[in-house]
Structure 1
């Protein structure tokens, strides 16, 4: 099947596009209301953030799933499937893989990807992206962190979070959420998110948020699942590793909380996205079953 099939399939694609468009309209309205209010590095340059790179951070050592980027998914390494999806996004000027592992690097070069070697000491994907950014010869305004465990990420979502960050000059970070399935409500590998009325993140948690007095899932509440993709203002990403770890970030083990705890704004778009990422070995079978059902090659 053509790799664009998941994007051009009727209901899922149009739903994704309509949600993305909605998020961009809200973002543009917020940007207009904010006017000249910007962070210190934006005051140095009012230039539109146009140059965009996609970076796929990948490490072999993972506490939950060692060697995850190289796991086979219907005949291809997962990192290759993620890379091929990212290359379909129209807003990315370049896509590279950032890794600290030679096996991953060799695999990626084998299917034609550009690779940047990074230190083993990187504590999370954002820090790996930051190091890779500073090793590039070209300058970029926006960096999209595309998690290597999202083999079915839709190019429209990548484009959507880039446009959301471009339309929100007060934000240094943007990401996407999708409706949470009831069965994932108490799965700590599925990160939940709550968003304010202007489309900015309030909080992320591995627990169910919001949590009601009954302690039960409310079937009428639109809980949100955070997708493993985010974009950063490039100047902010350079200082991100130097920001000290924050209490909520450490407790939840979620890197985006360090952004919020330090007072920065994080823009969120809502999309319809059926397939989730691969967090543990059991998720591989779920992804393959989904791909067979949708006739995705």
Structure 2
């Protein structure tokens, strides 16, 4: 029943080159790199999973090894984190029941998100992949809308069916609500997709062999490759428990995440 957590990290990000090495200052004033904070988050997951950083860049390899991470070198031809996870899985010789992709730009991911993801994928009879979704509150929804108005690529939203399998993911705000006046304590019908995935090895191996489809190419969202091939992808609703969540997509996200670290008293 073994679990492998892979943190894919590449230096040549289109939107933010060198992003894994960007430093984020926590509540105590200590600065740690994005990849270090993502590794710290992975190490909090219970069950003693094996945690590795997967990269094609020597700078990231040297930095990650310097703080004690296990590093797997992957090729420069990987087009996204899922393909990099597939390469890392193969390089380690397989043998894991579930592979988790904890993307290197999600340092605020709470451990219970990943634990719930693993639990629900194990229990599901059909799903080959699982990913967490978080119901957006009024502030988060306003942030999504402001990013879109400013022309920034912010969070990803998800819609799913009655059986909780995904219907679609988008960088646009979906579904359309027609409302701007949600109260501070009111849940909205918009779900923020959290950039974590759990795969069964068969689905991960198949993904790496498939070409990119038109929806994945248009949205720039790797999980759409599964949906375009009708692979059941389970959306697991998780609870924030007072924690804030945001991914680092643009330079403007750095102060936002640092403010969250300070507010949550994360060192």
Query: What whole-Å deviation, never above 9, does each CA across 1:222-261 have from its counterpart, x for those lacking one?
Result: 2001011111111211111111221211111111111011
SS at match of 1:171: coil
* Paired residues of 2:156 and 2:192 also in contact (CA < 8 A): yes
Q: Residue 206 of structure 1: which of 156, 159, 171 is its match?
A: 171
* Root mean square deviation of aligned Cα: 1.5
Are residues 1:285 and 2:255 paired?
yes
CA distance in 1, matches of 2:263, 2:188: 28
Are residues 1:294 and 2:245 paired?
no
Aligned pairs (5 A) from 1:33-52: 50-52=1-3
Q: 1:83 Cα deviation (Å)? A: 0.5
Q: Which has the larger radius of gyration?
A: 1
CA distance in 2, matches of 1:280, 1:185: 13
Aligned pairs (5 A) from 1:81-92: 81-92=37-48
Are residues 1:183 and 2:150 paired?
no
Aligned length: 246
Q: 1:217 Cα deviation (Å)? A: 4.5
SS at match of 1:57: strand
Q: What residue in structure 2 maps to residue 247 of structure 1?
A: 214
CA distance in 2, matches of 1:93, 1:138: 14
User: Which structure 2 residue ranges, 5 or more long, are not aligned?
Assistant: 26-30, 148-152
Q: 1:272 Cα deviation (Å)? A: 3.0
Query: What whole-Å deviation, never above 9, does each CA across 1:112-167 have from its counterpart, x for those lacking one?
Result: 11000001110000000001100004511211000111112111111111111101
Q: 1:57 Cα deviation (Å)? A: 0.1
CA distance in 2, matches of 1:267, 1:61: 30
Q: Which runs of 4+ in 1 moved over 6 A?
A: none
TM-score (norm 2): 0.88
User: Which structure 1 residue ranges, 5 or more long, are not aligned?
Assistant: 1-49
* Paired residues of 1:182 and 1:217 also in contact (CA < 8 A): no
Q: Residue 4 of structure 2: which of 42, 53, 64 is its match?
A: 53
